[in-house]
Amino acid sequence: MTALFILALLLTITGASQHPFQYTAEHDSKEASTPYQFKWPIHKVAIIGAGCGALVAYGEFARMGYQVRIFERDSPPEADFRPHLPPENVLLPYEEDFDNVDPREVAEMKRGQSAPSPIWDSLGSTGPRQDTQFRELPWPDHIPISKTLDFWDPIFNDLTLLPPALTHNHLQRYIRAFASFHGVNSNDNSPNASYNTRVERVDKRYSSLNGTKVEAGWTLLLRKFIQTGTSSYKVRWWTEDFDAVVVSSGRYNAPNYRRPEEFINQTVLIIGGSVSGSEIAEDISGKAGKAFLSVRKDEDSGVLQEARKRLLSRVPRNVSIIPEIKSFHSLHKSTSSGSGYDSGIQPGVVELINGTVLSGFDRIILATGFRYTLPYFPQYHDIDLRPNETIPAGDDRPQPLITDGTHVRSLHLDLFYIEEPTIGFINMNVGIDTFLFSEFAASAISKVWGGEAKLPSTEQMWDTHWQRLRDAGGAYSRQFMLYGPVKETAMIRYIVGWLNQMRCDMVVVRLRFLEKSEFLLL
C-alpha cells in the first residue's frame, strides 16, 4: 500500500509539466518526438582552458562520470595566438630540443606559448564578492564583500574611486585554490590536466565501419613547451582523441597595457569608451600629463547603452572625453630621405569626426574591444561573410562559428555548435556573471551529452537560430552575444526548467515501465 502511494505521488508530481522560460519557440511537442541523435557515444571530453568556466565544467563532467582532460597553455590556471605546427610529415609524438639559446629567446618562446594575460596591475573585479565566487567553494569571510566603492570628496567636489575590493591577485589565488579543490592545479601533477600545453588544432576523427568511413570524434593536435634551463628548452607535439570538446578558452587575449607609471607626464590618447578604455583612462589619469578618451557616438541601446553611461560617469574629470576619430593624417614626406618619409618618430595628427584636429600625443592606446577567435578551429572560420550573410543553402560548407570576430554564430542556446553539437561552449557571452552562469552551462552540456536531456533536431535548432537572428534585425553584430542581468536570469531559468522538465519526463517514462512490469521502485 505504501509503495502504491509513493508511485501515485510521483506520477502526480511528474505529470505536472514544468514550463521553462521560452527562449525560443522551438520547444513544443515536436521536440520530444524528433530529438537530435548523436553520431557516436560520448565518454571522453577535452576542455580547452583552465579559467573559472573550464574548472566548473571539469567538476561537473567529472561528477557525471566522464573521462575529462584539461588543456591550458599557461602554467597556472587563470583567466596574438598563432598556431605552431610540427614539421610536415613527421610521425607524432614528435619532440625538438633547443640548446645554447639566447635566454631572451627562451623567454620570448615561453611568452609565445602562453600569451600574456590581458590583466593590468590595478585591475580588479567589477562585481561584489558574492557574484564572483564558486558556490562549491565560497570566499573566506575576511575577504572584502563589496565591489569598488565611490565616495564624495568634499575638497574636490567630485567622486573619488577606491581600489577594487577584489584585486586580480585575490582572484588569481582563488581560482587556483578552486583548481586544487578538484585536484587539477598545476602543482597537483594530475593526469587529467596538462599545463603549458596549447591546442593547435581540433580535427574531425574518422573510423571504418564495415569498410565505410564514419565520423567517430575529434583529434586534438597538442604542443607543450618545457623550459629545461636558462638557455634551453624543448617542444613536444602529440595528438589525443576525444568524443567531445568544451571550448572555455575565453576571449580576452590581446594584452598590452600594464601600469600607469609608463605614461608619467605624457599626453595619451585612449580610443574606446567601453570597460577597458574607461578603466585605463581612470588608471592613468593620475600619472599622465594629459589624457584623452575617444568615444564614438552611442549607437547602442538597452543594456549596452546603460553600461556605457555608468562607465563614462566614472571617468575622472581631468580626462578629456572627445568624439570618435575620423582619420589619422599621413606622416610628412621627406625631400631628402630615400624612404620617402622622415626617419625617426614624427608627431602625428588626429582628425575627429566633428572636424577637430588634434596633435601632440606621445602614446595611443587602442581599447576598441576584444574579438572572438578560435584559432584551433580554422575550418569553422569564414572571414569573407558579412554580418548579414550566411553560407547559402545547398553549399557543402558548414555554417561558420567565427567571421568578423564580433560574435560567435551557429550556436544553439549559445552552448552547442549546431553543425556538430559535440562541440560545447562555456561563457562565450558578454554581460554575464561568469562564475554562476558557467555552472548552468556546464550542467546543460554534460546532461545532453550524457543522454539525460535532449536537443531538438538539427532543423529545429537552425529554425531557432534564424528566428533569433531575425529578432536581432537580420544581421549579426557585437550585441548578438550580449545578455545583461535580465536576459542572463531568463536564460538560467530556461536552462533549469528545460533540464528539470527532461528529468521529469524520464521519471514518468521509468515509472510507467515499472507499472507495466509490476515492479515498484522504493
Predicted confidence band of residue 304 (pLDDT cuts 50, 70, 90):
low
Residue 313 reports pLDDT greater than 90: no
More confidently predicted of 183 and 148: 183
More confident residue, 217 or 23: 217
Angle at 492 between CA 68 and CA 511, to 5 degrees: 75
Predicted local confidence at residue 55, as pLDDT: 96
> Is residue 516 very low, low, confident or very high in pLDDT (cuts 50, 70, 90)?
very low
Q: Which residue has the cell 640548446?
A: 99
179: nearest Cα among 66, 44, 62: 62
For residue 228, give every residue at least 6 positions away whose Cβ sits within 8 Å of its Cβ, in sequence order, or none.
Answer: 97, 234
Is residue 89's pLDDT more than 80? no
Cell output for 176? 587556483
Coil, helix or strand for 153? strand
Distance between CA atoms of residues 409 and 467, nearest Å: 13
Helix/strand/coil for 46: strand
Please tell me the predicted confidence (pLDDT) of residue 139: 80
pLDDT at 286: 86
Predicted local distance difference test score (pLDDT) of residue 280: 87
Distance CA 256, CA 271 (A): 14
Mean pLDDT across 105-110: 67
Could you tell me which residues come within 8 angstroms of residue 288 by beta carbon, excluding any fewer than 6 positions away?
Answer: 260, 263, 264, 265, 266, 267, 268
Res 84: pLDDT: 61
pLDDT value of residue 464: 96
Indicate if the pLDDT at residue 259 is higher than 50.
yes
Question: CA-CA distance, 292 to 347, in Å (whole number)?
Answer: 16
Q: In the prediction, which pLDDT does 292 show?
A: 94
400 C-beta neighbours (distance < 10 Å), count: 21
Q: What mean pLDDT is reported for the chain?
A: 79
Residue 484 has pLDDT above 60, yes or no: yes
Q: Is the pLDDT of residue 302 over 80?
A: no
pLDDT at 75: 73
Looking at per-residue pLDDT, the higher value among 175 and 16 belongs to: 175
pLDDT category of residue 19 using cuts at 50, 70 and 90 = very low
The predicted pLDDT at position 475 comes to 93
Spell out where 1-103 has E strands: 44-48, 67-71, 94-98
Mean pLDDT confidence for 120-132: 61
Grid cell listed for 93: 609524438
CATH topology of domain 12-123+167-252+372-505: FAD/NAD(P)-binding domain (3.50.50)
Q: What is the pLDDT of residue 275?
A: 78
Identical fold, 12-123+167-252+372-505 and 260-366: yes
Q: Check whether 407 has a pLDDT greater than 90.
A: yes
C-alpha span between 492 and 38 (Å, rounded): 25
Label residue 509 by pLDDT band (50, 70, 90). very low
Task: Please give the angle made by the CA atoms of 171, 175 and 180, to the nearest 5 degrees.
Answer: 145
Q: Is 371 exposed, middle or buried (0-12, 13-18, 19+ CB in 10 A)?
A: middle
Query: For the residues 241-260, what does the mean pLDDT come to?
Result: 80
Cα–Cα distance, 150 to 265 (Å, whole number): 26
For the cut 50, the answer to whether the pLDDT of residue 510 exceeds it is no
Q: Is the separation of the CB atoms in 47 and 71 below 8 Å?
A: yes
Whether the bond into 387 is cis, omega within 30 of 0: no
Residue 43: per-residue pLDDT:
98
**Mean pLDDT value of segment 369-386:** 91
User: What pLDDT does 113 receive?
Assistant: 58
Q: Does domain 260-366 have CATH number 1.20.120.430?
A: no
Each domain of the chain, given as residue ranges in start order, spans 12-123+167-252+372-505, 124-166, 260-366
Return the percentage of the chain with pLDDT > 70, whole number: 72
